[in-house]
Amino acid sequence: MNEGRYLAGVPRLTYYEAAWLLTQWRHSEAYGWLAAVSLHALQHCLRDLERAYTNLCAGRTAPPRLRKKCLSDSFRFPRDFQVHGHRLKLPKIGWMRFWQSREMEGAIKNVTIRRDGTHWAVAFQTEREVATPVHPSTSALGIDLGIATFAALSDGTRYPPLNAYRRLQAKLATAQQRAATQVKFSKHWQQCQTVIRRIQATSARCRKDLLHKLSTTISTNHARLVVEDLQIRHMSRSAKGTVEDPGCNVAQKAGLNKAILDQGWGLFRQMLAYKQLWRGGIVVAVNPRYTSQTCPQCG
């Protein structure tokens, strides 16, 4: 809706205007099914939409895209939920049990439910006061990220890549080929999509497991981390070009892009940043130019 108003030269809807329309839709015949969903969850989606368009107008992000069914499904409840031990009560849904991976500290502010492959995960956002942390170490470390070697540290340590996607690429291709032969949205097609989501979730979990372990080890032992300010979006850009100016070595560049995205450099840097913040350390991003060369003076 906001995209159509933007193309027509009409100012975009604010959150309060969209919330008023939401109330009208919930009482209409065409969109009466919205009343079966929690009002607060729908209102939070409108807040996220307004934030996305605000970031777009400020030049910080790309335009928001329509969500596809069964892809990145998530919804949030900012209120009217109850938590008792390992049981959670959500509006319009009721009580459900969940496995608690860690103890929750502080006051719970909201609850987010998201699809993780073929499973559902619940995340609690809490608020509490903590003292300013002081890192127990005083050492500094430089990290050089790559493909043949995932992380080369300045102290000589080398971490090999996991290549989680490459390991499951053949199995994923087989499942996608089988899904392409089925009638879309049929029962067999949905079964194939379940297999595809399970394989993709396995690849993502293996990657996150490695990144969490490496980032925790590095953050625990070093107070100051220096990483390359890599522009991953530019590095993984397609080399196809245009009809007037076609690219060269397109297949080789596609393989390189796949290998770059399989490493998870951006997620690794995010993990280092917040874990250093927890421990009182710091992460410094530097220009990646000439960082992979050996200094002729100090070696």
* pLDDT at residue 246, as a whole number: 86
185 class by beta-carbon count within 10 Å (0-12 exposed, 13-18 middle, 19+ buried): exposed
* Amino acid at the residue 92: K
Predicted confidence band of residue 6 (pLDDT cuts 50, 70, 90): low
The domain segmentation of the chain, as residue ranges, is 2-57, 74-127, 140-286
* 8 Å CB contact between 105 and 126: yes
* pLDDT at residue 265, as a whole number: 96
* Residue from 95, 91, 88 nearest 80 by CA: 91
Kindly report the pTM of this predicted structure.
0.84
The mean pLDDT value for 250-268 works out to 94
* Amino acid at the residue 115: R
pLDDT tens digit sequence for 33-73: 999 999 999 999 999 989 988 888 888 888 888 877 666 68
Q: Which residues contact 78 (CB under 8 A, 6 or more apart)?
A: 40, 44, 109, 110
Q: In the predicted model, what is the mean pLDDT of the chain?
A: 90
CA dist 259 and 104 (Å) reads 37
Joined tokens for residue 151: 């992380």
CA dist 222 and 142 (Å) reads 10
Residue with tokens 């392409």: 180
Secondary structure element (H or E) that encloses residue 273, with its range: helix 265-279
pLDDT tens digit sequence for 120-130: 999 999 999 98
